[in-house]
Amino acid sequence: MFTDACLICYDGEHGDIVKVNRVDEDDPICPICGEPKYLVYTKQGSNISGDYEHISDSLAINPSQEKAHRKLFPKVDVLPDGRLRFNSVRVQSDYLKATGFVKVPQKIR
């Protein structure tokens, strides 16, 4: 997300600053500290709880296998219907690598 922000007074409300661009010499002035504001690109940190969730239909297991599955993969949630819920990309990638599945990019129609 692009927003204008003073680098001194920025409170992190819109996420972590990833890139800073100076538009021109006529940048707006911060009303708090008097320094120029910059055009910044912000991104929410990936360590925020709940920012990623993927429920997989194709990797679903039989609910009778849930106990054994939880022993092998405690970080992967199993829904009551047997579908798997991943809470991070790393957990999903580790699971796919351990089980031998390959994540194939989907075709765009």
pLDDT at 97: 92
Residue 22 has pLDDT above 80, yes or no: no
pLDDT at 27: 66
Per-residue pLDDT tens digits for 41-51: 666 655 555 56
Q: What residue spans of the chain are helical by DSSP H?
A: 66-72, 89-99
C-alpha closest to that of 78 among 91, 88, 90, 69: 69
Residue 94 makes CB contacts below 8 A (sequence gap 6+) with: 75
